[in-house]
Amino acid sequence: MSDHLMATYARLPVRFERGEGPWLWDERGNRYLDALSGIAVCNLGHAHPAVARAVCEQAATLVHVSNLYRIGPQETLAERLCARAGMDAAFFANSGAEANEAAIKLARLWGHRRGVQNPTIVVAEGSFHGRTLATLTATGNRKVQAGFEPLVHGFLRVPYDDLEALEAVARNMPEVVAVLVEPVQGEGGVRIPSAGYLAGIRSLCDRQGWLMMLDEVQTGMGRTGRWFGWQHENVTPDVMTLAKALGNGVPIGACLARGEAASVFQPGSHASTFGGNPLACRAGLAVLDVMESEDLVARAAALGKRLRAELKERLAPLPGVVEVRGRGLMVGVELDRPCGELVGRALEQERLLINVTADRVLRLLPPLTLADEEAHRIVDAVSRLVAAFVGG
Catalytic machinery residues: 128, 215, 244
Alpha-carbon distance of 333 to 349, in angstroms, equals: 19
The CB-of-271 to ligand PLP minimum distance in angstroms stands at 18
Binds ligand PLP (CB under 6 A): choice among 101, 161, 182, 238: 182
The helix/strand/coil state of 257 is: strand
Site for ligand PLP in 76-115 (CB under 6 A): 95-97, 100
Length of the chain measured in residues: 392
CA distances from residue 290 to 43, 68, 98, 240, 302 in whole angstroms, order as listed: 10, 30, 25, 22, 18
The CB-of-146 to ligand PLP minimum distance in angstroms stands at 18
The CB-of-256 to ligand PLP minimum distance in angstroms stands at 15
Beta bridge partners of 121: 155, 178
* Position closest to ligand PLP via CB: 96
Stretch that binds ligand PLP, among 106-114, 145-153, 179-187, 306-314 (CB under 6 A): 179-187
Distance spanning both ends of the chain, measured CA to CA: 31
**280 belongs to the binding site for ligand PLP (CB under 6 A):** no
What x/- string results for residues 115 through 154 when contact with ligand PLP is judged by CB under 6 A?
Answer: -------------xxx------------------------
Buried-state track 184-218, b at ≥16 Cβ within 10 A, e below 16: bbbbbbbbbbeeebbebbbebbeebebbbbbbbbb
- HSE at residue 82, side-chain half, CA atoms within 13 A, is 17
The CB-of-272 to ligand PLP minimum distance in angstroms stands at 13
Binds ligand PLP (CB under 6 A): choice among 140, 186, 225, 366: 186
Judged by beta carbon, residue 45 or residue 96, the one nearer ligand PLP is 96
What x/- string results for residues 227 through 266 when contact with ligand PLP is judged by CB under 6 A?
Answer: ----------------xx----------------------
Helix 278-293 with 296-315: angle, nearest 10 deg? 70
Stretch that binds ligand PLP, among 85-93, 140-148, 212-220, 327-335 (CB under 6 A): 212-220
The CB-of-131 to ligand PLP minimum distance in angstroms stands at 6
Site for ligand PLP in 215-234 (CB under 6 A): 215, 217-218
Alpha-carbon distance of 196 to 166, in angstroms, equals: 14
Judged by beta carbon, residue 141 or residue 383, the one nearer ligand PLP is 141
Judged by beta carbon, residue 186 or residue 326, the one nearer ligand PLP is 186
Total residues interacting with ligand PLP, rule: CB under 6 A: 15
* Cβ neighbours around 142 below 10 Å, total: 7
The CB-of-314 to ligand PLP minimum distance in angstroms stands at 27
> Judging by beta carbons within 10 Å of its beta carbon (0-12, 13-18, 19+), is residue 172 exposed, middle or buried?
exposed
Beta bridge partners of 355: 363
- Contact yes or no for 62/281 (Cβ under 8 A): no
Residues that bind ligand PLP (CB under 6 A): 95-97, 100, 128-130, 182, 186-187, 215, 217-218, 243-244
